[in-house]
Chains A and B, each alone.
Chain A
Amino acid sequence: MMNRTNGRFGIHGGQYIPETLMNAVIELEQAYDFYKNDPAFNRELTELFNEYAGRPSRLYYAEKLTKALGGAKIYLKREDLNHTGSHKINNVLGQALLAKKMGKTRLIAETGAGQHGVATATAAALLDMECVVFMGEEDTKRQALNVYRMRLLGAEVIPVTTGTATLKDAVSEAMREWTSRIDDTHYCLGSVMGPHPFPTIVRDFQAVISREIKAQLLEKEGRLPDAVIACVGGGSNAMGSFYHFIEDKEVRLIGCEAAGRGIDTFETAATINTGRPGIFHGMKSYFCQDAYGQIAPVYSISAGLDYPGIGPEHAYLHDIGRAEYVPVTDEEAVEAFEFLSRTEGIIPAIESAHAVAHAVKIAPTMDKDKIIVITVSGRGDKDCAAIARYRGEDIYE
């Protein structure tokens, strides 16, 4: 074989997948290695980013939030303003365009909160591709509006009833589907996880976030931030937000995990804080699991963070101490969801609210000349009914 590293990040990553899929991921890697350096591909993708998705996204100085917290200066990276309402579109446009170049005519995807499913359905509509989205049945209920959006965009949504009927089961089902139909189908994986080359491909397409943050902050402040904070499930918006700062050691990189009802309970999805190394969904990384390696049923109020693993590059950044991974509970996230809505008039996705919650904790402890960037990975319209129910108001979409 050629000199292939199989996408290791320290001990993490790799390609733990059935033999049936090996040629598909090798073909994907070869295509990606070609197109990532192809000027025409990059022109086309940049055109889609800018004209269709609305990039670059704003880096907004949250003055009222800053004053309310009384510490570090806070900027919000507004990925919620992208077309389809989250950062997911960055990766999807890249992968869909790549799949199209590879001659694929059909996209399959997993989705948790529905944001990745909506983004994939959107790209499929735009690029004239067939689209099938696997979504845990539990999540189709929590995120009914997104199910409707996907169908409106022409995608087929398949509710997954196996296991815990959430994101992990949707990933398993999408992988099973891919093994049964490879020739015309690309699995458009939504996070920096799964077998190589997905963690690298997804990171590279999401790295536009940190590339922009860096340039925008240099223009506004003439310097780098002191901390970049993002929520982490699989970890795609966090990886995208961190990537161009990894070499800038003075920049703290903070990933906020969904602690659910707390990391001392079984109802949590905080992988780094409660998991240990394992092999699942094509990769070696940290996973919530029992003593025998059975994957744990995880819980978070956020469907998008309700996943028992984390991308392998995050696992590596944790191992080498380059990034910090902190737990944020449901209650803290809901408070931050409400707080940002009231102070800035910005309703963040409940996923992103986990990052806001941590900033609320640390900003007051930092000097006023320090700068925090929070990535608001998505908008919170989709979560309003669920948060209202959390607060005891029985409203439905």
Chain B
Amino acid sequence: MSNIRAAFQKGKAFIPFITCGDPDLETTGKIVRAAAENGADLIELGIPFSDPTAEGPVIQGANLRALAGGVTTDQIFDFVRELRQDVKIPLVFMTYANVVFSYGAEKFISTCAEVGIDGIILPDLPFEEKGEFQPICTQYDVALISLIAPTSHQRIAMIAKEAEGFLYVVSSLGVTGTRSRITTDLAAIVEAIRENTEIPCAIGFGISTPEQAGKMASISDGAIVGSAIIKLIEKYGREAAEPVGAYVREMKSAAAGKGSAALSAN
């Protein structure tokens, strides 16, 4: 069983997103470990990109802070290599196609495999364009994770049939960022996915509260949270590991379907 698949074997998964190098890699290391210790089942590590067109203002800010601090792809590979000495849960990269292409797809993906990255998510690489990276990912056993959006409709079957790792279901139109309400009929999307694949699917975009995490995980296999965590990192900076750990614990519990009574009280 792949490492990623294993992440979904302990009940509903909680998947935090953390931008590498925001505010610096040392802090990112502490945050990743805090998230892992507090129940994160898989972590999405963002490699910052100068112009992250799929991100809302919060994650854009994290990208720019990280780049302003001078972090590079090579430093992030070294960072993951070091992280892998004690962090055992699956780790996937989330970045943009140009970061991979510019590094050299084969060099990038083989280095992912070498340092212990289990998959990559490229939000600007739709199904039609994956041919350039897919064979290399297959060769090095790094999952190229596909996304499904509220607008995917008839494309769901095509994408799901070839999906690997897990499927990232985008909850809403628009870019990343917290939302007070998610109105997409996600249950129908998940049903369409399950008609075509066995691999797990997790929902992301717009999730920030334990209640949302619980609801999203209940109709899928897990919840992905980015902006809400980045906000904590933005607020607490180098001291962010503890508050992020506490937040992950609460969100994992909610995703797993526990503690909802306490939540409905507030």
Q: When the two chains form their complex, are residues B147 and A18 in contact, meaning their CB atoms are under 8 A apart? A: yes
- Indicate if the CB atoms of A23 and B155 lie closer than 8 Å: yes
Given A182-B173, A292-B72, A293-B103, do A16 and B151 touch, yes or no (CB 8 Å)? no
B253 in the interface (beta carbon within 8 A): no
CB A24 to nearest CB in B, in angstroms, measures 7
Chain A residues positioned under 8 Å from B49 (CB to CB)? 293-294
Q: Which A residues are in CB contact (< 8 Å) with B153?
A: 23
Interchain CB contact under 8 A, A179 and B127: no
- Measured between C-beta atoms, what is the minimum distance from B10 to chain A in Å? 28
Q: List 18 A-B contacts (CB under 8 A).
A: A14-B129, A15-B128, A16-B129, A17-B126, A18-B53, A18-B54, A19-B151, A19-B155, A22-B155, A23-B153, A162-B60, A163-B64, A278-B101, A279-B98, A279-B124, A280-B98, A292-B102, A293-B101
Is A385's beta carbon under 8 Å from chain B?
no
- B146, B152, B175: the one within 8 Å of A179 (CB): B175
Contacts A279-B97, A289-B102, A293-B99 hold; do A19 and B173 have CB atoms under 8 A apart? no
Assuming the contacts A281-B53, A293-B103, asked whether A20 and B150 have C-beta atoms less than 8 A apart, the reply is yes
In whole angstroms, how far apart are the Cα atoms of A292 and B75 in the complex?
11
Q: Judge whether B102 and A278 touch: CB under 8 Å.
A: yes
Q: Are B103 and A172 in contact (CB under 8 A)?
A: no
Rounded to whole Å, the gap between the CB of B140 and the closest CB of chain A is 20
Q: Does B67 make an interface contact (CB < 8 A)?
A: yes
Interface residues on B, range: 35 or more
Chain A residue contacts of B123, Cβ below 8 A: 18-19
**A223 CB–B CB distance under 8 Å:** no
The answer to whether A163 and B170 have CB atoms under 8 Å apart is: no
Expressed in whole angstroms, the minimum distance between the Cβ of B81 and any Cβ of chain A is 18
Contact status A279-B60, CB under 8 Å: no
- Mask: chain A, 269-285; 1 = CB below 8 Å from B; 0 = not: 00000000111111010
A1 CB–B CB distance under 8 Å: yes
Q: Which of B147, B151, B158 contacts A24 (CB 8 A)?
A: B151
- In chain B, positions 182-224 with a C-beta closer than 8 Å to chain A are none
Q: Whole-angstrom distance between the alpha carbons of A14 and B151 in the complex?
A: 20
A172 touches B53 (CB 8 A): yes
Q: How far is the CB of B118 from chain A (nearest CB, A)?
A: 21
Instruction: Give the contacting residue for A23; candidates B53, B56, B64, B152; CB below 8 A.
Output: B152
Pairwise interchain contact B50-A18, C-beta atoms closer than 8 A: no
- Contact between A15 and B129, CB atoms less than 8 A apart: yes
From A17, A163, A180, contact of B175 by CB (8 A): A180
With an 8 A cutoff between CB atoms, is B174 at the interface?
Answer: yes
Q: Closest 8 CB pairs between A and B?
A: A293-B102, A180-B174, A20-B149, A294-B50, A279-B97, A293-B98, A19-B149, A279-B98
Q: Are B102 and A22 in contact (CB under 8 A)?
A: no
Given contacts A6-B129, A19-B126, A279-B97, contact A176 B53 (CB under 8 A): yes
Across-interface contacts of A23 in B (CB, < 8 A): 151-153, 155
- Docked-complex contact B152 and A22, CB < 8 angstroms: yes
Please tell me if A220 contacts chain B, counting CB pairs below 8 Å: no
Chain B 44-77 interface 0/1 with A at a Cβ cutoff of 8 Å (1 = within): 0000011101101100100010010000111000
A172, B98: Cα distance in complex, Å: 15
- Answer whether residue A168 sits at the interface, using C-beta atoms and an 8 A cutoff: yes
Q: How far is the CB of B71 from chain A (nearest CB, A)?
A: 10
Q: Which of B64, B97, B147 contacts A16 (CB 8 A)?
A: B97
Q: Are the C-beta atoms of B173 and A18 separated by less than 8 Å? A: no
User: Is B151 within 8 A of A168, CB to CB?
Assistant: no
CB distance from A5 to the nearest CB of B (A): 10
Q: Give the nearest-CB partner of B123 in chain A.
A: A18
Say whether B98 contacts A19, CB under 8 Å: no
- A323 within 8 A of partner (CB): no
B125-A181 in contact (CB<8A): no
Task: Assess whether A249 is interfacial by the CB under 8 Å rule.
Answer: no
- A23–B102 Cα distance when bound, in Å, is 27
What mask results when residues 144 to 163 of chain B are scored 1 for a CB within 8 Å of chain A, else 0?
00111111110100110000
**Docked complex Cα distance between A179 and B126 (Å):** 14
Number of interface residues of A (CB under 8 A): 39
CB-CB under 8 A from A17, the residues of chain B are 124, 126
Q: How far is the CA of A284 from the CA of B102 in the complex (A)?
A: 11
| CA of A280 to CA of B67, assembled, Å | 17
Q: Is A48 an interface residue (CB 8 A)?
A: no
Q: B64, B148, B173: which contacts A181 (Cβ < 8 A)? A: B173
Given contacts A162-B60, A172-B53, A295-B98, 9 further A-B contacts (CB under 8 A): A16-B124, A18-B124, A19-B149, A22-B152, A181-B174, A282-B124, A293-B73, A293-B99, A293-B101
Find residues 274-323 in chain A having any chain B CB closer than 8 Å to their own CB: 277-282, 284, 287, 289, 291-295
Given contacts A16-B125, A294-B67, contact A175 B98 (CB under 8 A): no
A4 CB–B CB distance under 8 Å: yes
Q: B118-135: which have CB < 8 Å to A? A: 123-129
Kindly provide the distance from the CB of B128 to the nearest chain A CB, expressed in whole angstroms: 5
Which B residue's beta carbon lies closest to that of A287? B98
A44 CB to nearest chain B CB (Å): 29
**Contact indicator per residue, chain B 92-108, by CB within 8 Å of chain A (1) or not (0):** 00001111011100000
User: Which residues in A have their C-beta under 8 angstroms from that of B51?
Assistant: 163, 168-169, 172, 280, 295
Q: State the CA gap A394–B126 with chains docked (Å).
A: 49
Which of these, B99, B129, B151, B170, contacts A182 with CB under 8 Å? B151
Q: How far is the CB of A52 from chain B (nearest CB, A)?
A: 34
Residues of the B chain whose Cβ atoms lie less than 8 Å from the Cβ of A24: 151
A187 to chain B, nearest CB (A): 12
When distances are taken between beta carbons in the complex, the residues of chain B under 8 Å from A291 are: 102
- Residue-wise, chain A 144-182 has the 8 Å CB interface mask toward B (1 for contact) of 000000000000000000110000110010011001111
Task: Give the chain A neighbours of B147 by CB distance below 8 A.
Answer: 18-19
- Measured CB to CB, the nearest residue on chain B to A282 is B124
Within the complex, what minimum Cβ distance (angstroms) separates B55 from chain A?
A: 8
Question: CB-CB < 8 A to A6: which residues of B?
Answer: 128-129
**Which B residues are CB-close (under 8 A) to A179?**
54, 173-175
The closest CB in chain A to the CB of B146 belongs to: A19
The residue in chain A whose Cβ has the minimal distance to the Cβ of B52 is A172
| CA of A153 to CA of B106, assembled, Å | 50
